[in-house]
Amino acid sequence: MNIVDTGSKFILRIDNALDDKICDEIRSFAENSPTFLNCVGNMPESKILSFGSEIYTFNNKISRTISAYKFMLSQIIYKYFDKIVYPDSTEMMYFFPGANLGWHPDSHPFDVDSTPPIPNTQYHRTISTVFYINDDYGGGETVIRTEPWTDDFIRKVKQTNPKNLNEAAYNLGHEISIDSEYVSKPKKGSVIIFDSRCYHKANPNWGNRITLPTWFGEDPRVCEFFKN
Ligand SMILES: [Fe+2]
């Protein structure tokens, strides 16, 4: 396991966080799952297959390894980001050739009031992580702004569409001037960890790209260990 300095205090990368063998086992689980097999001839328009809760049916060894990995990430996040966090959800995502994700943050302030009293896990994220299960494809880089959204952005959102701040925040994302970006090249067994307020995107991939993102929040009530 080695920590890579990205040059931004909001982004950290760890190479060789999990070994190749476990990556191959996760991939094999994905490619033999009903979700994957059912999509043959029925490809989602986005070309991205999300496994949702199916990953909680991983076999015991894989699920224990992934739990241990998430505890490890929590420790690393505490050390490098000075935040106590809990994993709020984990997904496995299968990007077929030509898939991509546009610019978006995983967290912005306008969602916060929308779902009391238990926060909606999707919008109470503090730290985002993307684990690369394979790297036998081209493209698919995770591109991350090196700083989170700013007060200027918040002001602009409020001016643009005061009636639907949530939507305005997402729509404005791609218009924001991108001063500085970190480009994370997928590497099997590596993970990119970043502040959920940073806008990010995934470049188109050639070949099948498989990732295991986990989002972390600071409220223990959203911890996925208590939900699943
Ligand atoms: Fe994201």
Q: Cα of 122 to ligand 1 centre, how many Å?
A: 10
Q: Once rounded to an integer, what is the mean pLDDT over residues 98-117?
A: 69
Instruction: Report how far apart, in Å, the C-alpha atoms of 222 and of each of 58, 174, 211, 225 are.
Output: 21, 29, 22, 9
Closest-CA residue to 132 (of 43, 219, 222, 4): 4
Q: Cα of 196 to ligand 1 centre, how many Å?
A: 8
Let me know if residue 74 belongs to a domain. Answer: yes
Extract the tokens encoding 168.
């305005």
Q: Cα of 120 to ligand 1 centre, how many Å?
A: 15
Let me know if residue 21 belongs to a domain. Answer: yes
Q: Which of 46-50, 122-126, 153-157, 219-223 has the lowest mean pLDDT?
A: 122-126
Q: Once rounded to an integer, what is the mean pLDDT over residues 20-27?
A: 94
Q: Cα of 104 to ligand 1 centre, how many Å?
A: 6
pLDDT at position 129 is 98
pLDDT at position 11 is 97
Q: Name 117's Cβ contacts closer than 8 Å, sequence gap at least 6.
A: none
Long-range contact pairs involving 117-120 (C-beta distance under 8 Å, separation at least 24): 118/221, 118/222, 119/217, 119/219, 119/221, 119/222
Let me know if residue 226 belongs to a domain. Answer: no
Let me know if residue 225 belongs to a domain. Answer: no
Q: Name 45's Cβ contacts closer than 8 Å, sequence gap at least 6.
A: none
pLDDT at 141 over 80: yes
User: Where does residue 126 rank: exposed (0-12), middle (13-18), buried (19+ CB within 10 A)?
Assistant: buried
Closest-CA residue to 34 (of 42, 25, 45): 42
Q: Cα of 200 to ligand 1 centre, how many Å?
A: 6
Share of the chain above pLDDT 70, in %: 89
pLDDT in tens, 167-181: 787 777 656 655 689
Let me know if residue 44 belongs to a domain. Answer: yes
Closest-CA residue to 205 (of 123, 58, 100): 100
**Domain membership of residue 108 as a residue range:** 2-220
Q: Cα of 159 to ligand 1 centre, how many Å?
A: 25
Q: Once rounded to an integer, what is the mean pLDDT over residues 32-52?
A: 84
- Overall number of domains in the chain: 1
- For the domain that residue 108 is a member of, what is the CATH number? 2.60.120.620
